[in-house]
Structure 1
Amino acid sequence: MKWQNAINDYRLFLKIERGLSKNTIDSYTRDLKKLNLFLDENEIIVSPTKIDGEIVKQFIYEVATKVNPRSQSRIISGLRSFFDYMVFEDYRVTNPTDLLETPKIGRKLPDTLSEEQIDALITAIDLSHPQGERNRTIIETMYSCGLRVGELVTLKISDLFFEEGFIRVLGKGNKERFVPIHETAKKYISIYKNEIRNKIKPKKGFEDTLFLNRRGKGLTRQMVFLIIKDLAEKIDLKKKISPHTLRHSFATHLLKGGADLRAIQQMLGHESITTTEIYVHLDKSFLQEVVAKYHPRK
């Protein structure tokens, strides 16, 4: 079996069996292509069904000189997933990454913004600009609902259930969830949809897409990144932020306000509660307040 054939089959598996997005699939297979390139450059002729742990270890060692421990860990995890697939499909008997040690890394806490910083971002939006109202609605929606950027740009008008107080979100792996929407975000979505968007003629295929660019097409992920980056520069924010920062801020502020961790997990669309638990580490005072409020030993 050739490497390219194996990688193509693996991509198909990730798409059909696991329902992953193209961006996630690209991330999973990027390091496999690097491994294939490493083999070619070192004139190592071995197929994905025959490669052993020593060769994989050589590749990891070479990569380790160029990246940090967190990236090393991600690469090992990606390779392990690929060879697990090879074993599952009976192409191999063993996984050559089983004996590889993953570098010890600390848990990286996500960047967040304060409520004042989020207000400053929104205030910095030029509402006299043709896209100003749309951009304000984007920030409010991401912060109100904790959306991933991919979930925001694919949000449909038919996903808005304002009477019920929810929006429908298509998350990772095409998993659907319903997220409560704050009255402020609901107000700005209505203004944008009824007063701004209705003056734009959507291109074919984008008739139901909520957020449109000037040409009537859906926004790209990169465009949302640029919108937030420009606003951060306007308020002279001394930290690097992204759309995901608004999602982290949403979860952190809810937790700090006393929201239940399980409820936050559902709203964020996390499969595991352990992913959501990272927000507990951002504000230790929250834990102290919980003990003081709920422990029977007053």
Structure 2
Amino acid sequence: MHSNVPKGFAADLSAFKDYISLERGLSTTTLDAYLHDTTRLAEHLDSCNIDKFSDANRHHLSGFFVVLSNLGIAPVSRARYLSSIRHLYRFLVSAGRATADVTETIQVPAKTRHLPSTLSVAEMVRLLQSVGETIAGVPPTKYELRDRALLELMYACGLRVSEVTAIRQRQVLFDMELIRVIGKGSKERMIPIGMTAITWIKKYMNEARAQLITQKPTDDVLLLSKRGTMLSRMSVWNIIQQAAGKAGIQTHVHPHLFRHSFATHLLEGGADLRAVQEMLGHADIGTTQIYTHVDREYIREVHTLFHPRNKSEHD
């Protein structure tokens, strides 16, 4: 619990923390966000001489969002605050700690939804092939084999950085061509790998992984750092930057771009939206649907270029 929680709110926030961590099974990141946001609300209410959450009304909450706006908090972050606070009040009402949910009439701040950037299939292939190949008779190093396995796995399965770095060897089911992934909220999903990624993972495991093992326990982690431990987020970012540089890709390349490209390329190829949702591990299909907007832009461009009624009579 945050040390700066005003006294009158501490018991409610402690009970809320127990609820979201034990009963809801939320990820650590989401849990921290909920507690941060609701603690900020407690501090605001305390400054307004409100002693506890149940004494606040919608005007107090509206004032809190005005303060956030004046502080320059972005709309998407204010929307997250509202989501956290709504979860808090729903819990308080259900637990008998408040008589009314005062968030019901609070409007969600407008969120600007940006279309995710992606690489084309050709760019992705170029990036992948920039690492781990034998060039002029010189075989790849142990690090290059690891990096190629990492990149192939991220693109083949659309994994988050936190997911790919945590993969254990036992989670790769070679015979079934599947990988067992533990995602947000400790939810498990099975994702097809594909033979190309399998080939590179096996090559890395057979030729390089043993060379990366040190005296430190590996905990069966698949992709090892030079210290023989789990790769860090920054290490993954650096690996991707180096590969993009070798491939001559000018687009800003980052780890999540592999996930965006994975989803977009599947949908462009005719994949079912719900199948992509399942592979990405999205709880809400609305989150997956943003990738259909990317595909629609491509479709619109094709229509504009090639449909006879979209051409001038003088073309």
Q: TM-score normalized by structure 1? A: 0.85
Q: What's 2:57 paired with? A: 52
Alignment of 1:88-237 (within 5 A): 88-125=94-131, 130-201=142-213, 206-232=218-244, 237=249
In structure 1, the gaps of 5 or more residues are 290-298
Residue of structure 1 aligned with 2:21, choices 15, 25, 30: 15
Q: Is the 8 A contact 2:142 2:207 kept in 1?
A: no
Structure 2 CA distance for partners of 1:276 and 1:204, relative to 1, 3 Å: same
Letter in 2 for 1:38: H
Query: How many equivalent residue pairs?
Result: 288
Structure 2 CA distance for partners of 1:90 and 1:240, relative to 1, 3 Å: farther
Structure 2 CA distance for partners of 1:237 and 1:81, relative to 1, 3 Å: farther
**Are positions 1:254 and 2:266 aligned together?**
yes
Superposed displacement of residue 267, structure 1: 1.4
Q: Is the 8 A contact 1:134 1:192 kept in 2?
A: yes
Q: Is the 8 A contact 1:144 1:182 kept in 2?
A: yes
Structure 2 CA distance for partners of 1:227 and 1:83, relative to 1, 3 Å: farther
Please give the alpha-carbon distance, in whole angstroms, between the structure 1 residues aligned to 2:105 and 2:55. 16
Q: Is the 8 A contact 1:203 1:217 kept in 2?
A: no
Q: Is the 8 A contact 2:132 2:147 kept in 1?
A: no
Please give the alpha-carbon distance, in whole angstroms, between the structure 1 residues aligned to 2:54 and 2:234. 38
Structure 2 CA distance for partners of 1:257 and 1:133, relative to 1, 3 Å: same
**Are positions 1:83 and 2:89 aligned together?**
yes
Please give the alpha-carbon distance, in whole angstroms, between the structure 2 residues aligned to 1:85 and 1:222. 37
Please give the alpha-carbon distance, in whole angstroms, between the structure 1 residues aligned to 2:246 and 2:8. 51
Please give the alpha-carbon distance, in whole angstroms, between the structure 2 residues aligned to 1:205 and 1:4. 40
Identical residues among aligned pairs (%): 35
- What are the Cα deviations for residues 57-87 of structure 1, in whole angstroms up to 9, with x where unaligned? 1111011121232222222112111211222
Please give the alpha-carbon distance, in whole angstroms, between the structure 1 residues aligned to 2:146 and 2:30. 28
Please give the alpha-carbon distance, in whole angstroms, between the structure 1 residues aligned to 2:243 and 2:30. 27
Q: TM-score normalized by structure 2? A: 0.81
In structure 2, the gaps of 5 or more residues are 1-6, 134-139, 303-315
**SS of match in other structure, 2:55:** coil
Letter in 2 for 1:90: G
Please give the alpha-carbon distance, in whole angstroms, between the structure 2 residues aligned to 1:4 and 1:252. 45
Please give the alpha-carbon distance, in whole angstroms, between the structure 2 residues aligned to 1:5 and 1:242. 41
Please give the alpha-carbon distance, in whole angstroms, between the structure 2 residues aligned to 1:231 and 1:56. 48
Residue of structure 1 aligned with 2:257, choices 239, 242, 245: 245
Please give the alpha-carbon distance, in whole angstroms, between the structure 2 residues aligned to 1:156 and 1:230. 25
Superposed displacement of residue 43, structure 1: 5.8
Please give the alpha-carbon distance, in whole angstroms, between the structure 2 residues aligned to 1:155 and 1:82. 33
Superposed displacement of residue 105, structure 1: 3.1
Superposed displacement of residue 55, structure 1: 1.8
Superposed displacement of residue 120, structure 1: 3.6
Superposed displacement of residue 168, structure 1: 0.8
Letter in 2 for 1:95: D
Q: What's 1:277 paired with? A: 289
Residue of structure 1 aligned with 2:66, choices 50, 61, 68: 61
Q: Which moved more, 1:43-52 or 1:75-84?
A: 43-52
Q: Over aligned residues, Cα RMSD in angstroms?
A: 2.6
Q: Is the 8 A contact 1:171 1:177 kept in 2?
A: yes
Q: Is the 8 A contact 2:142 2:204 kept in 1?
A: no
Q: Which moved more, 1:8-17 or 1:174-183?
A: 8-17
